[in-house]
A and B are shown apart, each in its own frame.
Chain A
Amino acid sequence: MAHITPMATLAKQMKSNRIVTGTKIPHPCGDPNLPIEADNTLRREIVKTALKALQTGVSGPTVFVPDISYTSG
């Protein structure tokens, strides 16, 4: 299982083993502040990172970070 969530710190403590950092809480898989093309690309990037996590051996809670830049907190 790959766990996509913006709260990687919390997910680590909950012992989720394959964590994928999502964007932000109200929109974990994408960013409505981006133009549509960029938003879709971001969503694909998050899903692709999740697939990578599913194929990676881990020994405990591990965070996989997609290529995201933050526009705000």
Chain B
Amino acid sequence: MRLELANFPVKDVRFDGRTNYHGGVLEINREELVALALEDGRVVSAKFDVAFPGEQTRIVRIRDVVEPRLKLSGAGCVFPGILGPVETVGQGRTNRLSGVTVMTSAEYKRTILEGTAAGRTGLVDMWGPAAQLTPFGSTINIVLMLELRDGVSELEAHAAIQSAELRVAQRLAETTREKATDDMEVFELFETDPSLPRVVYILGCRTAWHEPHSGVAFYGLPIRESLPTLVHPNEFLDGALTSDARRGGKGTFPCTWLWMNHPIVLGLLREHGKRLNFLGVILQRTRFESDFGKQVTAACASQMARLLKADGAVITRTGPSGNNFIDVMLTVQACERKGVRTVFLTPEWGGREGTELPLIFYVPEATAMVTTGSLDQMVTFPAPSKVIGVGDTQLVELTAGDPSISPSTSFVGDKGFVQDGIDWWGGTKNTCRVY
């Protein structure tokens, strides 16, 4: 399985003329893209705006973010199972528009109003302290603002929002179809020197089986209560993993963009053949709701690693819940006991001042851990000069049941307010140091 990922960097975005990409500039015909978004009968209003890094702009009501990519050759399409038939992807040639995102800000009348199943939103600051928490503080964000018709169910809301954003992203990526470039990276798990350490990545992925969309979908199929699954890293690059498009923020479910640009998948692919032999990804659904379920997934994921003859495993999780943390820690323990050495990368708790316990559960085998920063320490959100977001942005609710924020003011809040503001996958240089 060999994938060529061709890179078309975007330095500027303008709403002007025909939709096209030329010399690093992405021009967008607004009417064309609005019409495209409205093709879905559930969308009653679609608008666009754009935000650049460094601007004093705050984007709100964010539900999902996508990178424009287009498959030129190889089986399937980008976002298989959703924009096209189910076909295993990760081969051939795919183009990407880098440095730019389609960021969806959407509003609909919710039917679930509380608990973890309720739709939630995130925000992004393009400047200031919160900008460096998320990759989107450094990308040009094309904000797609959607309003849905009344009477949509939660799952329909997800489908409508996702359909609009993926089709807009695909249309933008189409601008690269006839373009040539030298800027290409090849991803392949070729045969390596047999003395290199064999490393597998166990991707602990929180899903909620009894919610309308479980939070993470594999080829469009929401992952519910399944056992670990083996995935080729290239599949991530072609959009095989996507997020619940109703649920931004709170750091619970990484957005689609982050699945496509997965820091550890990319990092291990790039180390393959150099310092290690990357065996692949064990996608491990977590947050089993009984001790029993947690023990089964830990036994199963660690056994899969052993059957792959892994020497070591990089292990991560998603979601700030203490509940799913236990699944993953038990997996660390099960791997070590089977002779698969582990490194566990995770953000930590520790309270507001970093004086409380960093983690809520420990196993003695977790001897190698990497921290990506605190979940509890607060962030300052200064007053912006511009707010972009669907609907009335005077008062915005982030998570159902919690006090709303006034986006045009300054306030202090959690990292979880920020879309992908919590580093689950080690893509930032954020950490905790001891003072």
Whether A and B touch (Cβ < 8 Å) is answered with yes
> Which residues 1-18 of A sit at the B interface, judged by CB distance below 8 A?
6-10, 13
Interface string of A28-71 (1 = CB under 8 A from B): 00000000000000000000000000000000000000000010
**Residue in chain A with minimal CB distance to B287:** A25
Q: A13-B361, A13-B362 are in contact. Are A73 and B326 (CB under 8 A)?
A: no
Q: A25-B323, A26-B210, A72-B225 are in contact. Are A10 and B360 (CB under 8 A)?
A: yes
> Which residues 289-347 of B sit at the A interface, judged by CB distance below 8 A?
289-294, 296-297, 322-323, 326, 330
Contact between B362 and A7, CB atoms less than 8 A apart: no
Contact between A9 and B326, CB atoms less than 8 A apart: yes
Chain B residues with a Cβ closer than 8 Å to the other chain, count:
18
Contact between B326 and A10, CB atoms less than 8 A apart: yes
Q: A10-B361, A72-B225 are in contact. Are A24 and B326 (CB under 8 A)?
A: no
Contact between A25 and B326, CB atoms less than 8 A apart: no
**Residue in chain A with minimal CB distance to B209:** A72
Shortest distance from the beta carbon of B420 to any chain A beta carbon, whole Å:
25
Interface flag for B417 (CB, 8 Å)? no
* Residues on the B chain within 8 Å of A25, using CB: 289-290, 323
Shortest distance from the beta carbon of A54 to any chain B beta carbon, whole Å:
22
* Cα distance, A9 to B326, chains bound together (Å): 8
Contact between B291 and A7, CB atoms less than 8 A apart: yes
Which residues does A use to contact B, with CB under 8 Å? 6-10, 13, 21, 23-26, 70, 72-73
Question: Known pairs A6-B291, A73-B290. 4 more at Cβ < 8 A?
Answer: A7-B291, A9-B326, A10-B361, A13-B361
Top-7 shortest CB links A-B? A73-B293, A24-B289, A25-B289, A73-B288, A24-B290, A6-B290, A8-B291
